[in-house]
Amino acid sequence: MKTNRRSAIKHMAGSAALFSTSSIAQSMPHSSDTSLKGNINHSVCKWCYGNIPLEEFCVSAKKMGIKSVELLGPEEWPIVEKHGLTCALASVLRDGYSIEKCWNRTDHHSDLIKIYEESIPMVAEAGLKQVITFSGNRDGMDDETGMKNCAEGLKKIMSLAEKNNVLVVMELLNSKVNHPDYMCDHTEWGVELCKMIGSENFKLLYDIYHMQIMEGDVIATIQKYHSYISHYHTGGVPGRAEIDETQELYYPAIMRAIVDTGFDGYVAQEFIPKEEDALASLQQGVEICDV
């Protein structure tokens, strides 16, 4: 699959209009879910299934017991709501701001503050609870300076986030394979940023795939830092494909560790299916994580 996270993030807001129903290639699940345990709130990242129209994708996801389709822009939120789903993690960045270009440079702050000041009330009005953000790339900047810069800018939107009961969530990404030079690439850096900002409305997205690549020790890290984490993503290592026995992580144990922390947020499938029946792979991923 040629779609990647970097390009998909930049085109999320208008993606609902890009696909016609005739473009769907994957088969629909054969049966509706009736047996999920209810300990995990299941979500899925739409960008991994870019050739399936959002309307059709929502129908399939709901049949699997998935409650959320995420990383969607404002134009797409009504579509998931129409199908009785939510968007557990909203995407509002625009004007060239994304993974590589974000809060760690002060000359970006005025634009970013405007974007989030406009978007946070919209997120709340739509009944959504979380919005994604990023650190930006290092580009020669040291991590301490970048952390201070991120904190300086993000503090300026925290009162609005608190007023609207919206979490601003920074994603931990690997800088080794997928996102070279990305600054927020270790859990401890993200945790220190949370402490510096000092608001319960700023949290981390712990992407299991990315953090296995960067630092491993996934379960112990979750146990230690779970209070700073409000969202999780999956993905097979290596290769970001299915989370089955073809990869090195054992997701049932990871999910049990997440449940044991008392986590009541969402876990989103964010692997890129290699199998021809991508929706069957998605259903398998949900079943693996349903502990």
Q: Is the dihedral of CA 245, 286, 241, 211 positive or negative?
A: negative
Domain segments of the chain: what residues?
Answer: 5-11+35-289
Phi-psi region of 71 (alpha: psi -120 to 50; beta: other; left: phi over 0): left
**Phi, psi for residue 58 in degrees, rounded to 5:** -60, -40
C-alpha closest to that of 201 among 112, 131, 136, 126: 131
Is there a cis peptide before residue 238, judged by omega within 30 degrees of 0?
A: yes
Gyration radius of the chain's alpha carbons: 18
Q: Distance between the two ends of the chain, CA-based, in angstroms?
A: 29
Q: pLDDT tens string for the chain (291 positions)?
A: 445 665 555 544 443 333 333 333 333 443 454 589 999 999 999 999 999 999 999 999 999 999 999 999 999 999 999 999 999 999 999 999 999 999 999 999 999 999 999 999 999 999 999 999 999 999 999 999 999 999 999 999 999 999 999 999 999 999 999 999 999 999 999 999 999 999 999 999 999 999 999 999 999 999 999 999 999 999 999 999 999 999 999 999 999 999 999 999 999 999 999 999 999 999 999 999 999
- Strands (E) across 152-224 are located at 167-171, 202-207
Q: Is the dihedral of CA 187, 193, 197, 201 positive or negative?
A: negative
pTM, two decimal places: 0.90
What does the alpha-carbon distance between residue 181 and residue 96 come to, in Å, rounded to a whole number?
17
Residue with tokens 């699940």: 29
Right CATH number for 5-11+35-289 from 3.20.20.150, 3.20.20.80, 3.40.50.300, 3.40.228.10?
3.20.20.150
By the 8 A CB rule, do 86 and 52 touch?
Answer: no
The pair of structure tokens assigned to 209 is 């795939």
